[in-house]
């Protein structure tokens, strides 16, 4: 793990140097991912017995923070891969036993994770337009075929689309629409097409395009070998994604402070009281958000899914999102007009930083859930707000 | 004036429909300016005796607000033209007499303004890299020639560069560098070149490029016919520009509220309490900022340059800048991720809105000046902060 | 009206000098009210034909602002009196005719208003514990007696209790609880007792105690001479009270800025950049809130009760409340620990200023209503939030 | 230490139950201090070899947080005692050796600390009016007498005045005013008089009165037995006080959230979206501030006085102060007018919470120092801002 963190720190400046280029054209950070593969970071969450680093969530959050100081978009895509592999690796054996998950699931899982240790990486194809990531309302359906399954439907916000080795696709059974299953679909399979729809304010280099599927997959593409297990992974992934988004946005916020410090120092404006006050308050806010993310990550490792853990995850998401947006806006104001030129790190960071609060669970939703929980209610209950 | 305001309201939706296109490529809003010319708005500030509308500053602010609801960038470029023509038209006769300005100045001024009524528009070439708009430190110099003057130097942030009919250029005399003069340089003169440097976070369609000058102009290009009169116009323009920036950014802020309302209504999300609260607070903030801009504009008409007028101008600039940025950020959060796609009005407005606080006088500078004034000090005195 | 405003300006410093004393003990500002009576301000809203000043709402708001710069608590109690008299005086004749209000109402109203011009002042006894000011749920009931009515019940938040000459009491008919009527109950009538319950964070000198009623009143105490007319006055009073609260809190906010300026100047701390920035931003915020209150007041005069007028009233209430609280908190921070000693104007203003957002309609409710209205909904409709 | 923390948790509800009473009259929390003595908490910072608990700073911060959830004023007074004893106990032996501090210092220190373990507690008499706590400008002077010293002068902000067993008094030598020494002056000595000047907005029960000294003390009252050692303790105390203030205000902030939750639950208002959002955001902010205080405390234990430790101390102070004030204000707004009645916990907490940002180093000063440090400057250097 020490090696992984060191690698992330070593790579961050390289990512930073390339970030403006990828951002400008909305191009996927191909070289960053080559670096990640070479550094062995794809296997970060894979158990050591399968050739990976065997990192825990807190380890991951530390890596994500460092990568995001280089390029938040790269860190976000990496985050999806880490979430998939981390969720798979983290399913407790006791849970598998309790649920009566067949032995085949474990074998399949290990195969998937071993491939990662060998240099593969996965993207997540879950959200759909108008549905978001509510599994029970997916319109992507699958049917059983002689040697496997056929999947048909369209996905959106697929970060890394066109570059991942395979997609983790969620779909419902045409035969029994209450069954939601997940399939690992190779990126080069016939009938997998990427529609380049991603052209957004920030995090432009994530290539979060649409994915169209009309594809046949062999039987062992079904994750776990048994239909209807999607919730197993899906229920583990949200805190993963939420908390790991948070780490990314704290890294982005710190990068904004660093960029403003550089900008003011170069222009010999470090004496301006208003700029100093902005930097000082930003410094404190980012430090606080980082501690909250670390605390949430520690608790995800120690007591995943427990109510108090979830509260820390929501706190982390809320504070990371709002801190990143507020800090980047203030840093731009400290640095002045010259920092708004494209190519300036702050110009990009200002756009990237705005996205954190908007990613699910949004800041407003996190605030509501935290309020409900503090008031003794159950945010998981029906009717209290938008859900996954 | 009623006609001018009606024309602005009529044009705004057209500007809005074109805004995404000009923003994407950072292209000058050629069609918007054709519309402005055709509607006779170039002559807004020109006295009626010279064929113009004879509008006052408050009239102008109302027009700028409407134009900015369509496209803030178009309104900003128009603002520079209106500032030049408004400052020229507004120089009090008593002041001219008191300063002993020669008769020729009046003739020259009228010629310049008449051309505007006939459809010409001007850009301002004042700022220089590293110097900003501090006239006493300009490096652009002029020398007297047989039939006129030769001007040599480089300007930056020249909004409308490459599209205006002429540039109002500030330069210092090589013979006596304490003399600062202004020249109206035809855009098509030999030795006037535009370097397309403008590629920024927001207000991308202003074409605020660099301008390089190595150009000879006839004697009557010297504004007023007498060297050293630059301060006359320059001292009148700042409150013009500051207060008119403010009107533009209030228009941008209102456009952000309108866009969020449309977005939420279309997606049937108007019932979400958090979104409603955001819209409600934004509505109040924009309404307040608009009243402050109107009040400042009325006072600029009634008592230009007086200390209390200046305080209102700074209040207007401060509140317009901070309100636009805060409101646009909150509206994006109310609308959600889908509003961050490029082409979405909110995506552009979020970037445009951020620029107001950064344009001189920045929000931090305005706050400082207001504080100094409230504490009984003189913000105009040396040493209290950055100046023009 | 010029005289009234001048009188308010003349009295404000006297009120300010006494404010700490009344605040400390939570005592009613007896001397302030003697001053108000002597200056003829009780009759501010009374038509000139009845011996009053015949002021409109905008006039009133200007007076309230000035009084509040002296003592917010005094201004708040005066506000209740002005709301009652202003609402009565402002009932349009056309409305009275349309509703078939008997002639006797006009006579009774004129008698009530004439008494005011002669030096009487009234308090409002409407709210009840647990019910607030929802008239349909009042538990204070009245029964017809031989020569008039008997009223029984308890009221809370009766500003000026124990000092007003009469109370405007809202009660429901025991015979037909759907009838809500209002009575002007003399303060010295048998069965009117004040329970000194008011001991609060701020606005301590308003004596907003509980009032217990077990009292018989003559027939002509029934406002309008006809039962069930309470809604007539009640529906006119809310915008009165809401908008006039707003004027009071802007005055309190301005007083906080003034106190901080004095504090910093006396201690020779006006050079501190952080203090200057705080003063500057507060100056702008208060100026904006004041313009919004003025605009709302003008519209209440011109188009009372219209949807757009109501929106301005909510904007005024929202911004006055939040601005007062935020500004007072920031001014205390600018001034430092020494300003927190009791007896310091800022110490009191900080507590007084906090109350604005909490008075109905609260800031959160105003924000919600404004949001609903901006989104095309009807805030007056059922189910959109707390109501009067 | 586990016992100390358990004791603090056990005492907090008792403190809370008494808090309104002490606050109302500005009375010293005599019963709280009796409880603290009985629970052995006076000796918290005293080494185990001298009969104390031997707690570190992080331990202390945890205790202070719990006590403050009961009564912030009690926790603040306790904080001064803990700062004195903690600073004395924490002077590293190596430093003492390096400075050539005589053996007698260690003996005297141990005597002082042993008395504490036996149930004594100390107050700090350092600040003077107009001077603050700048030791080099103190006007309290001492002269050598036959058997000891005579001290003459006046102190302000002496929390616990009239109740502590002894005062730690800082004074300058009349013979050599560059020498600043500290004396432990028994509270019952002739010539020690308390002037009850403390009557403030918040933290009213701290009895931070003025202290007048015209008193003779024996030679061994001189801390360390050598003149001029005041800086030794004084330089260690600031981070102590700053960081421990922070722990207190986070406790106050948490108490405000708890009080709002109780208030809303009792009144069945927990379903209001605006209230829920306020509670949720407050919950996250307090959690973040608490982590920052804990981190700062850990670093004060591990690397006292190092630049990075100091930055964490400033972050803790800044965030605790601003969070407490913001959260208490928002909680009052969530709870509504009924929570502003005196006797309501929120009413008191709102006033107490405002004081954190104002205590030195103020929030504005901390922000400036953090900004200077982030920009590569040295906040300890001359001229960068207000100092101790």
- Give the residue with greater pLDDT, B92 vs C33: C33
The pLDDT value recorded for residue B68 is 98
> Are both D289 and D307 inside the same structural domain?
yes
Q: Which of D200, D274, D340 sits opposite C200 (nearest CB)?
A: D340
At A166 the three-state DSSP class reads strand
Q: Minimal CA–CA distance to D117: which of D32, D165, D51, D164?
A: D51
Last residue of one domain, picked from the residues D229, D255, D285: D229
Q: Is the pLDDT of residue C234 over 80?
A: no
The pLDDT value recorded for residue C223 is 82
* pLDDT tens-digit readout, B156-188: 999 999 999 999 999 999 999 999 999 999 999
Residue D386 lies in a domain: no
- Chain A residues touching B267 at Cβ < 8 A: none
Range of lowest pLDDT (A70-79, B256-265, C36-45, D132-141): D132-141
Give the phi and the psi of residue A175 in degrees, each rounded to 5.
-70, -40
Nearest CA in chain B to D278: B274
Measured between CA atoms, how close is B354 to chain D, in angstroms?
23
Residue B107 lies in a domain: yes
The pLDDT value recorded for residue A108 is 81
Residue B384 lies in a domain: no
Put simply, the answer to whether B374 touches C288 (Cβ < 8 Å) is: no
- Chain B residues touching A274 at Cβ < 8 A: 364-365, 367-368
Q: Which of C276, C295, C366 sits opposite B291 (nearest CB)?
A: C295
Put simply, the answer to whether C371 touches B291 (Cβ < 8 Å) is: no
Put simply, the answer to whether C287 touches B287 (Cβ < 8 Å) is: no
> Are both B75 and B158 inside the same structural domain?
no
Nearest CA in chain D to A334: D371
Q: Is the pLDDT of residue A237 over 70?
A: no
Per-residue confidence band for D225, with pLDDT thresholds at 50, 70 and 90: confident
- Chain A residues touching C277 at Cβ < 8 A: 273-274, 277
In a 10 Å sphere around its CB, with 0-12 CB exposed, 13-18 middle and 19+ buried, how is residue D342 labelled?
middle
Q: In 10 A of CB C265, how many CB atoms?
A: 13
Put simply, the answer to whether B340 touches A333 (Cβ < 8 Å) is: no
Mean pLDDT computed over B294-304: 92
- Give the residue with greater pLDDT, A240 vs B289: B289
Per-residue confidence band for C233, with pLDDT thresholds at 50, 70 and 90: low
The pLDDT value recorded for residue A189 is 97
Q: Is the pLDDT of residue D388 over 50?
A: no
Check if A375 contacts C (Cβ < 8 Å). Answer: no
At A192 the three-state DSSP class reads strand
- Give the residue with greater pLDDT, A87 vs D11: D11
Q: Is the pLDDT of residue B324 over 90?
A: yes
> Are both A314 and A223 inside the same structural domain?
no
Measured between CA atoms, how close is C334 to chain A, in angstroms?
14
> Are both B9 and B61 inside the same structural domain?
yes
> Are both C45 and C179 inside the same structural domain?
no
The pLDDT > 70 percentage for chain C reads: 95
Q: How far apart are CA B301 and CA B317, in angstroms?
A: 17
Measured between CA atoms, how close is D335 to chain B, in angstroms?
17
In a 10 Å sphere around its CB, with 0-12 CB exposed, 13-18 middle and 19+ buried, how is residue D280 labelled?
buried
Last residue of one domain, picked from the residues C207, C229, C251: C229
The pLDDT > 70 percentage for chain D reads: 95
Range of lowest pLDDT (A102-111, A304-313, C318-327): A102-111
Put simply, the answer to whether B340 touches A358 (Cβ < 8 Å) is: yes
DSSP C338: G
- Which among C90-99, C146-155, D300-309 has the top mean pLDDT? C146-155
* pLDDT tens-digit readout, C156-187: 999 999 999 999 999 999 999 999 999 999 99
Mean pLDDT computed over A134-151: 92
CB A374 within 8 A of CB A366: no
> ipTM, 2 decimals?
0.94
Instruction: Report the CATH number at residue D202.
Output: 2.40.110.10
CB C274 within 8 A of CB C87: no
> Are both B286 and B346 inside the same structural domain?
yes
Q: What is the mean pLDDT of chain D?
A: 92
- Which among A222-236, B340-354, C124-138 has the top mean pLDDT? B340-354
Q: Minimal CA–CA distance to D127: which of D169, D67, D160?
A: D169
The pLDDT value recorded for residue A96 is 75
> Are both B337 and B294 inside the same structural domain?
yes
- Chain A residues touching D318 at Cβ < 8 A: 280-281, 284
Task: List CB contacts of D243: < 8 A, sequence separation 6 or more.
Answer: D57, D61, D293, D296, D297, D300, D313, D316, D317
Mean pLDDT computed over A4-27: 97
Check if B287 contacts C (Cβ < 8 Å). Answer: yes
Per-residue confidence band for A223, with pLDDT thresholds at 50, 70 and 90: confident
Q: Minimal CA–CA distance to B309: which of B320, B296, B294?
A: B296
> Are both C191 and C87 inside the same structural domain?
no
Put simply, the answer to whether D354 touches C329 (Cβ < 8 Å) is: yes
| All chains having 3 or more CB pairs closer than 8 angstroms to chain D | A, B, C
Q: Minimal CA–CA distance to A327: which of D374, B256, D251, D321?
A: D374
Q: How far apart are CA C377 and CA A173, in angstroms?
A: 41
The pLDDT value recorded for residue D321 is 98
In terms of phi and psi (left: phi > 0; alpha: psi -120 to 50; beta: otherwise), the region of D351 is: alpha
Q: In 10 A of CB A34, how many CB atoms?
A: 10
Q: What is the domain extent for residue A23?
A: 2-117
> Are both D250 and D360 inside the same structural domain?
yes
Specify the pTM: 0.95
* pLDDT tens-digit readout, D294-328: 999 999 899 988 899 999 999 999 999 999 999 99
The pLDDT value recorded for residue A382 is 43
The pLDDT value recorded for residue A384 is 41
Alpha helix ranges (H) inside chain A: 2-25, 30-38, 57-70, 72-90, 93-98, 103-117, 230-266, 273-302, 307-335, 345-354, 363-374
Q: How far apart are CA C149 and CA C221, in angstroms?
A: 8
Mean pLDDT computed over D330-352: 96
- Chain A residues touching B275 at Cβ < 8 A: 364
Q: How far apart are CA D242 and CA D244, in angstroms?
A: 5
DSSP D139-168: --EEEEETTEEEEEEEEEEETTTTTSSEEE
Check if C337 contacts D (Cβ < 8 Å). Answer: yes
Nearest CA in chain C to A278: C274
Q: In 10 A of CB A378, how many CB atoms?
A: 11
* pLDDT tens-digit readout, C306-345: 899 999 999 999 999 999 999 999 999 999 999 999 999 9
Q: Is the pLDDT of residue D235 over 70?
A: no
Q: What is the mean pLDDT of chain B?
A: 91
Mean pLDDT computed over C63-69: 97
Residue B387 lies in a domain: no
Q: Is the pLDDT of residue A136 over 60?
A: yes
Provide the number of structural domains found in chain C: 3
Angle at C382 between CA C378 and CA C385, to 5 degrees: 85
Instruction: Report the CATH number at residue B96.
Output: 1.10.540.10
Q: Which of residues 265-284 of D touch B (CB under 8 A)?
A: 273-274, 277
Task: List CB contacts of A38: < 8 A, sequence separation 6 or more.
Answer: none
The pLDDT value recorded for residue A388 is 37
- Chain B residues touching C309 at Cβ < 8 A: none
The pLDDT value recorded for residue D159 is 96
> Are both B254 and B364 inside the same structural domain?
yes
Residue C336 lies in a domain: yes
| All chains having 3 or more CB pairs closer than 8 angstroms to chain B | A, C, D
Nearest CA in chain A to D270: A375
Q: How far apart are CA C205 and CA B14, in angstroms?
A: 57
Name the residue with tokens 């708004």.
A340
> Are both B243 and B359 inside the same structural domain?
yes
At B386 the three-state DSSP class reads coil
Per-residue confidence band for C97, with pLDDT thresholds at 50, 70 and 90: confident
User: In this structure, what is the dihedral angle of CA atoms B17, B23, B29, B35, given to the nearest 10 degrees?
Assistant: 20
Range of lowest pLDDT (C309-318, D103-112, D164-173): D103-112
Last residue of one domain, picked from the residues A229, A255, A285: A229
Q: How far is the CA of D107 from the CAs of A266, D129, D168, D226, in angstroms?
A: 54, 33, 17, 12
How many helices (H) and strands (E) would you count in chain B? 11, 7
Measured between CA atoms, how close is B281 to chain D, in angstroms?
13
> Are both B239 and B347 inside the same structural domain?
yes
The pLDDT value recorded for residue A383 is 46
């Amino acid at each position: 793990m020490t090696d992984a963190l060191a690698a992330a720190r070593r790579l961050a400046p390289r990512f930073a140097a390339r970030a403006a280029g990828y951002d400008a054209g909305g191009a996927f950070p191909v070289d960053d991912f080559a670096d990640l593969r070479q550094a062995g970071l794809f296997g970060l969450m894979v158990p050591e017995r399968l050739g990976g680093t065997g990192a825990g969530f807190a380890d991951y959050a530390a890596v994500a923070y460092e990568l995001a100081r280089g390029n938040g978009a790269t860190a976000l895509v990496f985050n999806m891969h880490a979430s998939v592999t981390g969720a798979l690796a983290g399913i407790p054996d006791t849970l598998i036993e309790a649920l009566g998950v067949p032995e085949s699931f474990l074998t399949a899982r290990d195969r998937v994770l071993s491939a990662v240790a060998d240099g593969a990486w996965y993207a997540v194809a879950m959200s759909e337009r108008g549905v978001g990531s509510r599994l029970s309302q997916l319109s992507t359906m699958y049917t059983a075929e002689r040697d496997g399954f056929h999947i048909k439907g369209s996905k959106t916000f697929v970060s890394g689309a066109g570059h991942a080795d395979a997609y983790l696709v969620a779909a419902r059974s045409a035969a029994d629409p209450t069954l939601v299953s997940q399939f690992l679909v190779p990126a080069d399979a016939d009938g997998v097409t990427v529609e380049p729809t991603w052209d957004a304010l920030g995090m432009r280099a994530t290539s979060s395009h649409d994915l169209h599927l009309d594809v046949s997959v062999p039987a062992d593409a079904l994750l776990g070998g048994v239909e209807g297990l999607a919730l197993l992974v899906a229920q583990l992934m949200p805190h993963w994604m939420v908390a790991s988004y948070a780490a990314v946005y704290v890294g982005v916020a710190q990068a904004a402070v660093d960029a403003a410090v550089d900008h003011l120092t170069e222009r010999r404006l470090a004496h301006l009281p208003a700029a100093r006050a902005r930097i000082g308050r930003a410094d404190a806010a980012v430090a606080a958000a980082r501690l909250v993310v670390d605390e949430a990550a520690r608790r995800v490792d120690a007591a995943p899914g427990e109510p108090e853990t979830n509260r820390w995850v929501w706190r982390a998401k809320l504070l990371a999102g709002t801190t990143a947006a507020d800090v980047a806006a203030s840093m731009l104001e400290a640095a002045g007009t010259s920092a708004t030129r494209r190519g300036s790190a702050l110009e990009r960071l200002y756009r990237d930083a705005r996205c954190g609060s908007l990613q699910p669970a949004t800041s407003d939703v996190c605030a509501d859930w935290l309020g409900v929980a503090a008031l003794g209610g159950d945010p998981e209950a029906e009717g209290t707000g938008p859900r996954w």
